[in-house]
């Protein structure tokens, strides 16, 4: 190992890391300033409703995800069911569906004028809504239902992995003691999987907090929607920053609860994991009920919405196959490619800096580079606008002082802001993928290279880069896909008259004309399926 790298390598690693975390610092600084009149007005009128709705939404989605995902994860890991081989990856498919698209589809199906209520009125002879009760889809409960249907795979994936890692001997002991599968679940599997379940629920909670489009479509006032409305409606960057700081506090609180809940818990398990012959074999109606339950989750979260999208695209193909569709596809492709390449380059830089420099402080750049992923997109967007807006003002003031015409919004009104927001948001994905590959490189190779007199740069070029090539490709792919799908940050940071596929689809959803945006929505879904395919293959190889 090299005790110290060159100054340029060290300086560039720290510079990129600080640039990625600077929007968060600027956001906190702006949010802690004395409150403006707009923010005071919001606090005196609607802010507590926003906070209450946010808390209820997070709790509702977390509880609902817990109730649907954990049983499905246990059935896939511990039981032999019809179609289990296909079900275990199909249950992850809803992650590829944008929640706002699912919200529109189920609103169209379940609202008063929709086909379901219309059929019920025809069958039972009801004349109007006063003759019967039907749950209102455009409500907090409807938002919980839709968001749960697409986010439960986070919890399912972690819980299933935890169940699969549990020792076979534990289940065999439960059988010898005459325990039923249900008793084995409550007394053995569930307690051992609690750390993974807590982590999964924290992910679900943060994704729920970050959701903007679904709650906006259902007119549920949450903090995420408050940030968007305050900036674009009132034009108050400071008030938006203060609300964003509230959301940062919620994120920190969620992460703190997750870590505190497992502060003293240590789970030791034998290396021997589950084999096919150790699974519980459900018989009779139980196996078909369990299989039907799991397929119902897939149908609600993916099969039915995707089938309706395909039907829309088939009927409205001519109206969707337009020059705008191609232009916005190119916009998304260009932005996503730039962000993926830059994020991966930064990840390689800070990852190898941590690997080759033995000082304890070298871990900080990679940690700072990863902070943005836990922050909602709307919050990061405000954090990017604060320094970029200040920089634009300073540049224009200097140009006017020199007697020249200012360039206008050079940073905050261009693609630079959009790229910067995406980088802050998704660099953590690249850092994780690259560091995972770097950690697999044997330290002995570094020692041999040093013994042969190789400089750090030569060793990186000849040894590390070839060995971490797959990790870099994975980082590029994952960041590219996430950038293609990102909506909240794009809505705030995009330049004037600039659209991505995500914002293009959302406009149709907002106008309740998803039929014309079904084709770009299908593109987004298909792009989102790529990481799920890779993830499923890696899980099959691991188990």
- With H, G, I as helix, E, B as strand and everything else as coil, classify residue 2: strand
Is the CB of residue 236 less than 8 Å from the CB of residue 403? no
**Mean pLDDT rounded to a whole number for the chain:** 83
Task: Residues 1-34+316-543: name the CATH superfamily.
Answer: MetI-like (1.10.3720.10)
- Hey, which residues does 280 pair with through a beta bridge? 79
| pLDDT on residue 465 | 77
| pLDDT on residue 39 | 83
Dump pLDDT digits (tens) for 390-426.
888 888 888 888 888 877 777 887 889 999 999 998 8
- For residues 444 and 442, what is the distance between their CA atoms, to the nearest angstrom? 5
Q: What's the mean pLDDT in 85-111?
A: 90
Residue 45 tokens read as: 């009128």
Percent of the chain at pLDDT exceeding 70 = 85
User: Lowest-confidence range among 47-51, 276-280, 456-460, 513-517?
Assistant: 276-280
Residue 428's pLDDT band, with cuts at 50, 70 and 90, is: confident
- With H, G, I as helix, E, B as strand and everything else as coil, classify residue 357: strand
Pick among 3.30.200.20, 1.10.3720.10, 3.50.50.60, 1.10.150.240: CATH of 47-221+272-314:
1.10.3720.10
- Let me know if the fold of 1-34+316-543 is the same as that of 47-221+272-314: yes
When mean pLDDT is compared over 111-120, 146-155, 370-379, 393-402, the highest value belongs to 146-155
CB atoms within 10 A of CB 79: 18
User: Lowest-confidence range among 199-213, 250-264, 280-294, 345-359?
Assistant: 250-264
Percent of the chain at pLDDT exceeding 90 = 24
| pLDDT on residue 1 | 47
| pLDDT on residue 270 | 47
- Nearest 10 degrees: CA dihedral of 9, 15, 21, 24? 180
Reply yes or no on whether the pLDDT at 300 is more than 90: yes
Where are the chain's structural domains? Answer: 1-34+316-543, 47-221+272-314
Is the CB of residue 408 less than 8 Å from the CB of residue 434? no
Is the CB of residue 482 less than 8 Å from the CB of residue 429? yes
Is the CB of residue 109 less than 8 Å from the CB of residue 311? no
Reply yes or no on whether the pLDDT at 463 is more than 50: yes
Q: Which tops the pLDDT comparison, 34 or 138?
A: 138
Q: What's the mean pLDDT in 447-475?
A: 74
| pLDDT on residue 272 | 45
């Amino acid at each position: 190992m090299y005790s110290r790298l060159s100054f340029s390598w060290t300086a560039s690693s720290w510079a990129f890391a600080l640039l990625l975390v600077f929007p968060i610092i600027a956001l906190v600084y702006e949010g802690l300033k004395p409150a403006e009149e707009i923010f005071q007005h919001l606090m005196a009128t609607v802010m507590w409703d926003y906070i209450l709705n946010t808390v209820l939404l997070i709790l509702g989605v977390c509880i609902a995800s817990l109730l649907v995902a954990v049983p499905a994860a246990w059935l896939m890991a511990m039981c032999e069911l019809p179609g289990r081989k296909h079900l275990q990856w199909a249950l992850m498919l809803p992650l590829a569906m944008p929640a706002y698209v699912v919200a529109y589809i189920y609103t169209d199906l379940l609202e008063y004028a929709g086909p379901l209520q219309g059929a019920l009125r025809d069958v039972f002879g009801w004349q109007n809504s006063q003759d019967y009760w039907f749950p209102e889809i455009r409500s907090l409960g409807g938002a919980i239902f839709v968001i749960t249907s697409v986010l439960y795979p986070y919890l399912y994936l972690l819980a299933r992995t935890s169940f699969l890692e549990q020792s076979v001997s534990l289940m065999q002991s439960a059988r010898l003691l005459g325990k039923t599968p249900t008793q084995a679940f409550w007394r053995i599997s569930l307690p051992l999987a609690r750390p993974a379940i807590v982590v999964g629920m924290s992910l679900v909670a943060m994704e729920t907090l970050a959701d903007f489009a679904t709650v906006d479509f259902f007119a549920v006032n949450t903090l995420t929607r408050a940030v968007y409305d305050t900036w674009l409606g009132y034009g108050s960057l400071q008030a938006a920053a203060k609300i964003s700081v509230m959301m940062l506090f919620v994120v920190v609180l969620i992460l703190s609860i997750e870590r505190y809940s497992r502060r003293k818990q240590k789970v030791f398990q034998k290396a021997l994991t589950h084999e096919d012959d150790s699974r519980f074999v459900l018989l009779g109606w139980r196996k078909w009920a369990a299989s039907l339950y799991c397929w119902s989750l897939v149908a609600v979260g993916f099969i039915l919405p995707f089938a309706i999208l395909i039907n829309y695209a088939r009927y409205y193909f001519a109206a969707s196959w337009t020059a705008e569709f191609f232009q916005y596809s190119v916009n998304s492709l260009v932005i996503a490619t730039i962000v993926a390449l830059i994020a991966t380059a930064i990840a390689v830089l800070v990852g190898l800096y941590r690997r080759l420099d033995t000082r304890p402080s070298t871990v900080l750049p990679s940690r700072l580079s990863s902070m943005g992923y836990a922050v909602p997109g709307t919050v990061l967007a405000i954090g990017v606008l604060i320094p970029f807006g200040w920089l634009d003002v300073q540049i224009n003031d200097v140009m006017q002082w020199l007697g020249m015409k200012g360039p206008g919004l050079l940073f905050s009104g261009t693609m630079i802001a959009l790229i910067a927001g995406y980088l802050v948001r998704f660099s953590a994905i690249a850092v994780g993928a690259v560091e995972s590959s770097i950690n697999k490189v044997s330290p002995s190779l570094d020692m041999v290279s040093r013994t042969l007199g190789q400089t750090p740069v030569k060793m990186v070029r000849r040894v590390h880069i070839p060995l971490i090539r797959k990790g870099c490709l994975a980082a590029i792919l994952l960041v590219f896909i996430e950038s293609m799908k990102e909506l909240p940050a794009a809505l705030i940071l995009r330049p004037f008259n600039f659209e991505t596929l995500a914002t293009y689809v959302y406009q149709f959803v907002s106008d309740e004309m998803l039929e014309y945006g079904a084709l770009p929505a299908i593109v987004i879904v298909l792009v989102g399926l790529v990481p799920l395919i890779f993830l499923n293959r890696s899980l099959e190889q691991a188990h």
